Every structure is written in structure tokens, then in C-alpha cells.
Amino acid sequence: MKRIVYILLLVAATTLSSFTIFNINENGGKDEPRIVQFYPNPATSYIIFDLSAVSDKNYTLQIYNFIGKKISETKITTSRTSISLENFYRGLYVYQLRNKAGQIIESGKFQVSR
């Protein structure tokens, strides 16, 4: 898992100052933008995953509960996928977007509240 270091740069102008936050990975380069957006979070009855930069449909979305048991596996067929949470208990879940070789492209977590 990547270590992310948040670097806060203060850019001072003569009359205006602003803050910029960059995500820096452990190799010193900036992280690539996330391709999975999901909502609502916390979710109650469903969660929607929007995949922005997925052109080929050879991806799988896997969902694990907090102790590591696979709860759901869905083949990605469109850029927007809705997952029913009917059989999910309240708690934290981890999603993994995997390519056809099984490599994790992106992962994250979401919460189910009832």
C-alpha cells in the first residue's frame, strides 16, 4: 500500500495567500487521479460506483468486509455500477477494482449504516 505524504505549500502573494495540497507517493511522484468515485457514503440500501477512466470492460469490483471476507464480486459492464446492500451488515467495507490479470488497480473503503 502506498504511503501518502501530504505536503502543504504556502503560496504567498502580495495581497492574497492560498494553500495547495499535493499527494506525494513514496517514490516522490504525484499520485495519479482516482478513477473510482462512489456515493452515497455512508450508504444504506445501495451504493453507486462511477468509473471515470475505464475504457475496457475487463475489470472486476470486489467488496470485502472489515475482517477480509469477500462479500461481493461484480464484473464491470458499464461506467456506472450500482450494488445493492440488502445483505450487508452495518460497518466498514473495502472495495478493490481489479483488472483481468487480478491486479488491484484501485481500492478504498466505504461505510454501510442502517
Number of H helices, E strands in the chain: 0, 9
83 and 107 share one domain: yes
Cell numbers that stand for 93 in this block: 467495507
Could you give the CA distance from residue 108 to residue 111 in angstroms, rounded to a whole number? 11
The gap from C-alpha 7 to its chain's centroid, in whole angstroms, comes to 21
Cell numbers that stand for 87 in this block: 445483505
pLDDT (tens digit, 9 = 90+) per residue, 43-100? Answer: 999 999 998 866 667 899 999 999 999 999 999 988 899 999 999 999 999 999 999 9
85 and 105 share one domain: yes
> Domain range spanning residue 92?
32-112
Band the pLDDT of 27: cuts 50, 70, 90.
Answer: very low
Could you give the CA distance from residue 99 to residue 104 in angstroms, rounded to a whole number? 7
66 and 103 share one domain: yes
Could you give the CA distance from residue 89 to residue 71 in angstroms, rounded to a whole number? 10
39 and 63 share one domain: yes
Asked if residue 40 has a cis previous peptide bond (ω within 30° of 0), the answer is yes
Average pLDDT over residues 22-38: 63
Angstrom distances, CA of residue 26 to CA of 95, 96, 110: 22, 21, 24
17 and 60 share one domain: no
pTM check: above 0.85: no
